[in-house]
Amino acid sequence: RKEVEQDPGPFNVPEGATVAFNCTYSNSASQSFFWYRQDCRKEPKLLMSVYSSGNEDGRFTAQLNRASQYISLLIRDSKLSDSATYLCVVNPEYGNKLVFGAGTILRVKS
């Protein structure tokens, strides 16, 4: 079983739609959780950290369910510029290494 699993997509949605991604992780002792965004042929960029109580940043809402070991990202009112690959990232219990999921592709169309 992979340490971090994501649906690769692609998710094709119209502008203005709401879209949600889920991610599961295998290590129950994982400490920190993040969503990164990666554009084609570019480096990943931190989108948001995921807190236990859930957190929101503008149109983006992240939630963590430790009991079920999954993380979600909700994007409301999708924009064309949201098209990218979204990487679910987990910091396992050992040190400060990050483990990356393979990413979920989002394509927002007009």
Partner 1 sequence: GAVVSQHPSRVICKSGTSVKIECRSLDFQATTMFWYRQFPKKSLMLMATSNEGSKATYEQGVEKDKFLINHASLTLSTLTVTSAHPEDSSFYICSASSIGTSGYEQYFGPGTRLTVT
Query: Rounded to an integer, what distance in angstroms lies between the CA atom of residue 68 and that of residue 104?
Result: 20
Span interacting with partner 1, options 11-19, 21-29, 71-79, 99-107, rule CB under 8 A: 99-107
Residues 3-42 that bind partner 1 (CB under 8 A): 31-34, 41-42
Beta carbon nearer to partner 1, 1 or 41: 41
- Asked if 96 interacts with partner 1 (CB under 8 A), we say yes
Of 17, 76, 91, 107, the one binding partner 1 by CB under 8 A:
91
CB 58 within 8 A of CB 41: no
Strand ordering across the sheet containing 19-25? 4-6, 19-25, 70-75, 60-65, 55-57
